[in-house]
Chains A and B, each alone.
Chain A
């Protein structure tokens, strides 16, 4: 399998580490009254869709970016990948 890293280009699977469902980037508010229940869901519960799945991969063998990769779990076709760091972000070269 090859993953199109937005920075490095298309790279072999061996350069990446899989983490899991992209919902892991949405850490619950620890101050919320139901934080315990929300963290339980955040840590333990995952959807397991047959089809498109957003998931987190770490490009440790490359640019060290965390990526949100959209993969079809039926076919392993990678539909796309973007840097997980998007919100409030800026680029250093623009």
Chain B
């Protein structure tokens, strides 16, 4: 690797050389051009090493932007990572670990990064001031779609998402611990060591690939050795403890109720593609008894003219690039700092061999040691000074214009390092409603009320000194472990110094006359804040919405405080009164895919299969979702031109011969107990205590508000033993309801219930030859005559040694049975049934044919049990017991629900023979205008009836039963299917029920 390729890489063996692995060079491309870096680099450090300054174009003005930070707070260096289906927009170059073959591209530029046509937006910038969306594009209205929107979409929008499905998978996982430590800087490491040594179960999460936090970026010492060695040793010890789990590349992004934390582990983001079986990312749900929040702090920039130019960089980031990565972000630097910490950048730059033109500090006086050290390094000290403007262009900074006591001077520079102080990462302390507290000493917000179980240590709590961070971290870790019942002998504190950290507040250099950016990512300028104030958008929440300050991927990590402080200056408020923006998780961007985990595509939710599923597929069934189940919808045969042809054939076969339908998905609840009968009498409108053993009865249940909840058939197998069936869709809901009735309302009843849905496979056998088929199945010894098993009878009958239950019930209106067999035999019995059925000329049928036949019989189903109907509406009013109370009885007696003119179940037929009906059409009196006042009900279900040879429907119509024979209008403007229909009985087939009793 030559210096030519990495001109800004510090030489190995120098005073500052960084800690990348120079034995492992890595190749990568940026905008198609090849570069090289080393293992241990981030994309940002490798680009700096390669001398690339221009990384992207800004959001609104398309101004050239470079690398501003060295961490997740990066507002500028957003790039598209990878290509093809794995292309990911708006990733931060400062957090991307370099890997061999990495592809990255700049974004928000056209046609190229260096020559970007929309940079003209800078000239048109008055158009793009705060609130520009609301002002600029309001007129003429017709311009919006054709002109303004396409313009905005091209101009803004940052990166492009891949349009192909994500080829990688994501996982969710759960973790539990006594102590969660967030962050592995000095405080986090000390906390994890203290807690880990006590024996408590500890999880340490670190966003970076390496443990150490700022220890990796500073030239500090701990126990007289370089601080990064302490981090490595601590990491080694922690990893050796069986009770400690160290999770690097894992960012804790949210604190949730009941001490649950959300974390994202980037399992395979640092490689080209995940290995087989390895997810790209894993979403962790961590339940922690205690949490030590040691997330550290983010350095705050200062707002001044030209502060967005490539080469203006956070002072601490400069140190990171020098000390950790061994790259030199500039050769001639000016440091602009309001605090002691920033002076260290000057010292480190000098140590790395760079020229530091000056340290500009607005304070009138600073610690003598700082000025002495600067002077020793040949650095000018400009106290009481400000940078008012930075000049430069796409190639970066060329000079800084400094004002000291009203006098301006131009300093040639290619790097401006900026520090306005440090903002503790308070986000995790606020997600559950905690309000940060203003600290005058630090000129920033520090954690205020803490959520249950959390303590904050180190820079995250405003303790910026190294020795203090180590001590406070250790104390917090030990206390957290002690709260979980673990204690350890106190260990000696590592030796370290507290460096000076004094700071004076400075948000904005008011003298600046050039464009000065508050929010680099959203191109919000100092003028925008003034404008928002002038136009009345003064609360910080309004300021955010009006100017977009603090929005998008960085959520204002480097901009909010400055913007809010500037507004506070305009309104004359104290910062403690201004407060902070409400912050919600996630603290950093999290891919939706990570939230979904395994539950994507066909795994969106679990699917339930009956024992007959494989048979149905083998026999060509088209499947349909019924709640969580898959059911055969119909069984097309070759030559059938559409689904209707198939369904008509299936219906005709059942009505004339026999058919078999898998009804295993119906809910079945086993109900036992001395009070089982009494219990059923209280949950059904009709009476089950009078049901003889060996009989089944149709029942209707109401909700307590009087509306119908569900229906089904319940059978009695013994005095104290019933089996209830529910609709497929409501099975779980009914179980929950029955448990509520028992546990909450009537715990004194001796009744118990358990779902046996899964124990049984159940098949409807329907049609004139149903009995014949079942006699063949059971053999000659079993009597299935009308006397032995009459309509609505049920019996337990062994079939070749297996117990089965046979119910003489009919949904189709034909002679029909439902045969229940233990599920392990479900497939075999279905195969046997179908062999016999086929030999008799019968066929399998699906949910469509079932639905046609129930409409022909006027049986209600989901379309009628729609939560808006009472039993009377469905013609079931006579079932309602008048002798006793049941759930829903009192409320069903409300006058409006008893009103005779409620829409009530009827059948309808089209006047024009052969015309198709549509469900959802509204019923109007003949000739009446189609207005809501004339609405008399609606069509709930329709079907083509092979039996009636035409379309039929069920409808709920005002005074319906009294109107059989009346011609009304079915209004369906939505599907352009207005037509006249005739009201009739809802029972189209065999109204006397001769067939089902046959």
**Does a CB–CB distance below 8 Å link A and B in the complex?**
yes
Which of A17, A39, A89 makes the CB contact (< 8 A) with B891? A39
Beta-carbon contact of A78 and B258 below 8 Å: yes
What's the Cα separation between A52 and B772 when bound, in Å? Answer: 65
Q: Which residue of B lies closest to A1 (CB)?
A: B257
Find residues 890-907 in chain B having any chain A CB closer than 8 Å to their own CB: 890-891, 893-894
* Residue in B260, B285, B736, B889 whose CB lies within 8 Å of A30: B889
Which residues of B524-568 are within 8 A (CB) of A?
none
Contacts of A86 in B (CB 8 A): 747
Contacts of B736 in A (CB 8 A): 17, 58, 60
Whether B704 and A43, one on each chain, are in contact in the complex, defined by CB atoms closer than 8 angstroms, is yes
Query: Do the beta carbons of A85 and B740 come within 8 Å of each other?
Result: no
Query: Contacts A30-B885, A30-B890, A66-B739: A88 and B747 contacting too (C-beta < 8 A)?
Result: yes
Q: Tell me which residues across on chain B come within 8 A of A64, comparing CB atoms.
A: 735, 739
Q: Which of B242-266 contact A (CB under 8 A)?
A: 256-260
Q: Nearest chain B CB to A28's CB is how many angstroms away?
A: 8
Q: Quick check: is B79 within 8 A (CB to CB) of the other chain?
A: no
When C-beta atoms are compared, the residue in chain B nearest to A42 turns out to be B704
A75 with B433: in contact, given A30-B889, A85-B744 (CB under 8 Å)? yes
The residues in B between 734 and 748 inclusive whose CB is less than 8 angstroms from any CB of A are 735-736, 739-740, 742-745, 747-748
Bound: A35/B743 CA distance, A = 22
Please measure, in the bound complex, the distance between the C-alpha atom of A76 and the C-alpha atom of B745, giving whole angstroms: 27
Beta-carbon contact of A76 and B891 below 8 Å: no
Contact of A36 among B257, B287, B704, B894 (CB under 8 A): B894
B116: Cβ under 8 A from any A Cβ: no
- Complex CA gap A56/B433 in Å reads 25
The yes or no answer to B718 lying at the interface (CB within 8 A) is no
Assembled-state Cα–Cα distance A25/B744 (Å): 5
Q: Is the CB of A35 within 8 A of B890?
A: yes
In the complex, the chain A residue whose C-beta lies closest to that of B885 is A30
CB closest chain-A residue, reference B753: A64
- Range, interface on chain A: 35 or more
Is A25's CB under 8 angstroms from B258's CB?
no
Contact between A76 and B747, CB atoms less than 8 A apart? no
Which residues of A sit under 8 angstroms from B720, Cβ to Cβ? none
The answer on a CB contact under 8 Å between B740 and A89 is: no
Chain B CB within 8 A of A2 CB: yes
A6 to B675, CA, bound (A): 27
A12 to B257, CA, bound (A): 11
Pairwise interchain contact A66-B744, C-beta atoms closer than 8 A: yes
B287 touches A2 (CB 8 A): yes
Please tell me if B452 contacts chain A, counting CB pairs below 8 Å.
Answer: yes
- A2:B260 contact, CB within 8 angstroms: yes
Q: Name B889's closest neighbour in chain A (CB-CB).
A: A30
Q: Give the contacting residue for B740; candidates A28, A35, A58; CB below 8 A.
A: A58
Interface flag for B117 (CB, 8 Å): no
> How far apart are the CA atoms of A60 and B259 in the complex, in Å?
23
Contact with A along B742-780 (1 / 0, CB 8 A): 111101100000000000000000000000000000000
* CB contact under 8 A between A1 and B260, given known A43-B705, A77-B452: yes
B948 interfacial by beta-carbon distance below 8 Å? no
Residue A31 at the B interface, CB < 8 A?
A: yes
Instruction: Give chain A interface residues in 45-93, CB to chain B under 8 Å.
Output: 56, 58, 60, 64-66, 75-78, 83-89
Identify which of residues 1-57 in chain A touch chain B, using a CB-to-CB cut-off of 8 Å: 1-3, 10, 12, 17, 19, 24-25, 27-28, 30-31, 35-36, 39-40, 42-44, 56
Residues of B within 8 A of A24 (CB): 744
Contact B889 A19 (CB under 8 A): no
A-B contact count (CB 8 A): 77
A44 CB contacts on chain B under 8 angstroms: 705
Q: Is the CB of A76 within 8 A of B257?
A: yes
> Are A60 and B732 interface neighbours, CB within 8 A?
yes
Complexed CA–CA distance, A3 and B257 (Å): 10
Cβ of A60: which chain B residues have Cβ within 8 Å of it?
732, 736
CB within 8 Å of A: which B627-652 residues? none
Task: Render B273-302 as a binary contact track against A, CB cut-off 8 A, 1 for contact.
Answer: 000000000000101000000000000000
CB atoms of A84 and B287 under 8 A apart: no
- Which residues from A are CB-within-8-Å of B432? 75-76
Smallest CB gap from A68: residue in B: B744
Residues of A within 8 A of B258 (CB): 1-3, 10, 76-78
In this complex, which of A43, A44, A88 has the most chain B Cβ atoms within 10 angstroms of its Cβ?
A43
Q: Which of A10, A36, A83, A84 contacts B890 (CB 8 A)?
A: A36
Structural contact, A87 and B256, CB atoms closer than 8 A: no
A84 B891 Cβ-Cβ under 8 A: no
CB B176 to nearest CB in A, in angstroms, measures 10
| Distance between Cα atoms of A39 and B256 in the complex (Å) | 38
Interface residues of B in 856-896 (CB under 8 A from A): 885, 889-891, 893-894
The CA-CA distance from A44 to B885 in the complex, in Å, is: 19
Q: A35-B890, A43-B891 are in contact. Are A58 and B433 (CB under 8 A)?
A: no
Cα A31 to Cα B890 with chains together (Å): 9
Residue of A nearest to B745 (CB): A27
Q: Is the CB of B747 within 8 A of A85?
A: yes
Contact A87 B705 (CB under 8 A): no
* Contacting pair B740 A66 (CB below 8 A): yes
Q: Is the CB of A36 within 8 A of B893?
A: yes
Q: A58-B740, A60-B732 are in contact. Are A1 and B256 (CB under 8 A)?
A: yes
Chain B residues within 8 Å of A76, by CB: 257-258, 432
| Smallest beta-carbon distance A48→chain B, Å | 19
CB distance from B749 to the nearest CB of A (A): 10
- A17 to B739: give the CA distance in the assembly, Å: 13
Q: Using Cβ atoms and an 8 Å threshold, which residues of chain A touch B704?
A: 27, 39, 42-43
Which residue on chain A has the smallest CB distance to residue B452? A77
Chain A residues closer than 8 Å to B705, beta-carbon distance? 43-44
CB-contact partner of A87 in B285, B452, B742, B747, under 8 A: B747
Cα distance A44–B705 in the bound complex, in angstroms: 9
B contact residues around A84 at 8 Å (CB) = 743-744
Bound CA span A44–B703, Å: 13
Docked pose: A36 CA to B257 CA in angstroms: 40
Contact B743 A65 (CB under 8 A): yes
CB neighbours (8 Å) of B893 from chain A are: 36
B747 to chain A, nearest CB (A): 4
Residues of the A chain whose Cβ atoms lie less than 8 Å from the Cβ of B894: 36
| Nearest-Cβ distance from residue A58 to partner chain B, whole angstroms | 5
- Which chain A positions have C-beta within 8 A of B259? 2
Contacts of A10 in B (CB 8 A): 258, 287
Partner of B743, one of A1, A66, A77, A78: A66
A30 to B743, CA, bound (A): 19
In the docked arrangement, what's the CA distance between A27 and B285, Å?
A: 39
Q: Is the CB of B743 within 8 A of A85?
A: yes
Report yes or no: B890 in contact with A89, Cβ–Cβ below 8 A.
Answer: no
Would A31 and B885 be within 8 Å (CB), given that A19-B740, A39-B891, A66-B740 are in contact?
A: yes
Q: In chain A, what residue has the closest Cβ to B887?
A: A27
* Min CB gap B533→A, angstroms: 33
How many Å from the CB of B897 to the closest CB on chain A?
12
Q: Select from chain B the residue with minimum beta-carbon distance to A39.
A: B890
Shortest A67–chain B CB gap in Å is 9
A16 to B174, CA, bound (A): 17
Tell me the complex Cα distance, A85–B890, Å.
24
CA distance A76 to B260 in the complex (A): 12
Nearest chain-A residue to B741 (Cβ)? Answer: A27
* Contact call A89/B260, Cβ cutoff below 8 A: no
Complex CA distance for A85 and B746, rounded to whole angstroms: 9
User: Which chain B residues (173-227) contact chain A, with CB distance < 8 Å?
Assistant: 174
CA distance A66 to B452 in the complex (A): 27
The 7 sampled A-B contact pairs (Cβ below 8 Å) are A1-B258, A1-B260, A2-B257, A19-B740, A42-B704, A77-B258, A86-B747
Per CB-CB distance, the 9 closest pairs between chain A and chain B, nearest first, are A2-B258, A30-B885, A1-B257, A25-B744, A85-B743, A76-B257, A39-B890, A85-B747, A66-B743
Instruction: Give B residues with C-beta under 8 Å from A.
Output: 174, 256-260, 285, 287, 432-433, 452, 704-705, 732, 735-736, 739-740, 742-745, 747-748, 885, 889-891, 893-894
Beyond the given pairs A27-B704, A30-B890, A58-B740, 8 more chain A to chain B contacts, judged by CB atoms under 8 angstroms and listed by A's residue number, are: A1-B257, A10-B258, A12-B287, A28-B890, A35-B890, A39-B891, A42-B704, A86-B747
